[in-house]
Structure 1
Amino acid sequence: MTNLKVHSSAPADLEGDLAGLRGDCARMAPHWAVPERPESRPVPPSRIHGVTVPARSARLLDAMSDYGD
């Protein structure tokens, strides 16, 4: 059996605020590589075929506000 240990530099803050989230993002940003050139381009909606959304899911999404309450 393998004993996997996870080490974290900071404890998980599940009740964090926006300032904490911004700090987490700032600490992670140096680890993300930005590609020189995008690998793919957006696909026009006219080329998307065969996507089916169940009516229940569509109604749920339609009932959600766009910017939160």
Structure 2
Amino acid sequence: MTNPRTADPAPADLDGDLESLRGDCARMSPRWSPPAHVLARPVPLALIHGVRVPPASARLLEAMSDYGD
């Protein structure tokens, strides 16, 4: 039995093009609603602690250009 909520099957090619991504987003957007009110405040630096980055990841990020290639 098929699920009536999923009209389109998942594409076999997971590396689809931009048009298929835009189509997927357009089909999903009616299901999402923005929050009524978002209060964005900076997080105090005192609350940001305990973040650890593995050395390999830090080297990878350090080797990346600041503006992309």
* TM-score, normalised with respect to structure 1: 0.65
RMSD over aligned CA atoms reads 2.6
Task: Give distance in 2, aligned partners of 1:29 and 1:12.
Answer: 17
Aligned length: 64
Q: How does 1:1-69 map onto structure 2 within 5 Å?
A: 7=3, 8-13=6-11, 14-38=14-38, 41-44=41-44, 46-47=45-46, 48-65=48-65
* TM-score, normalised with respect to structure 2: 0.65
Percent same amino acid among aligned pairs?
Answer: 61
Q: Which runs of 5+ in 2 are unaligned?
A: none
Q: Which runs of 5+ in 1 are unaligned?
A: none
Q: Structure 1 residues 10 and 67 mapped into 2: Cα distance closer, same or farther (>3 Å)?
A: farther
